[in-house]
Amino acid sequence: MSQNIAIVIPVYNNPNTIKKVLDDALLLNMKIIVIDDGSEVSVESLVHKNNNLLIVRHEKNRGKGEALLTAAKTAKELGFKHIIAIDGDGQHYPSEVKKLLPLIEEESIIIGNRKFKEDVPNSSKFGRAFSNFWIFMESGRWLGDTQSGFRAYPLSILDLNLKQSHYDFEIEVLIKHLWKKREIKEVEIEVYYPPKGTRVSHFDKVTDNVRLSKLHSRLVFKNLLRLLTFGYYTG
């Protein structure tokens, strides 16, 4: 099964963590597709060549959603059927990929629900609960961690008419996948949260939250129309 699956890692300005993430990911003996989304220091200059490693670079930063779409298109061209996305900031343990592999089916998205411990910031806990609520309002489906970027995607997501290019992509893809009556599965994963002030995050609390708010507003409205039209949640 794993021969049909590639690991994809979108990267933007994570020079201090990406080498360790890649070293750990290469231990899985799977194809790794890195999308360098316009990093100031190119990923290629930081790592050694490896037959299982492919680096694709965006010369300008396009956003995480665009990076994931580039990864999906690249994987499809290479003959893969699924991708597993992990972040390049060191929060995700590549070894946790093994928990997702047994759950992968043709049309399923698998979400790695982050195991939150005492050291997790309250803002992350609130953000997850807030996002989960809006996903329910938009689809009728309760999910445990809709903000997790540790996911397995079927390449059928390329047929979903996805329009968002930043962090809002990760919400849009779940909703449009559910609206197609496709399955989402979940499994708990371990994650690492660096000490306060040391983690590099490119989530802009103003710009990205505005994008997410606009997206949720549109999706809630569209799902209300679906509910009125069909008389039930179509997710």
pLDDT at site 98: 97
- Helix 64-77 vs helix 169-179: crossing angle, to nearest 10: 60
How many CB atoms sit inside 10 A of residue 125's CB?
11
Q: Phi and psi of 197, rounded to 5°? A: 90, -5
**pLDDT at site 110:** 98
Backbone angles phi, psi at 106, to 5 degrees: -55, -45
Please state the pTM of the whole predicted model: 0.87
> In the chain, which residues have pLDDT < 50?
233-235
* DSSP-assigned states of every residue in the chain: -GGGEEEEEEESS-TTTHHHHHHHHHTT-S-EEEEEES-SS-GGGTS---TTEEEEEESS---HHHHHHHHHHHHHHTT-SEEEE--SSS-B-GGGHHHHGGG--TT-EEEEEE---TTS-HHHHHHHHHHHHHHHHHHS---S-TT---EEEEGGGGGS-----STTHHHHHHHHHHHTT--EEEEEE-B--PPTTT------TTHHHHHHHHHHHHHHHHHHHHHHHHSS---
pLDDT the model gives residue 199: 57
Q: pLDDT value at position 165?
A: 85
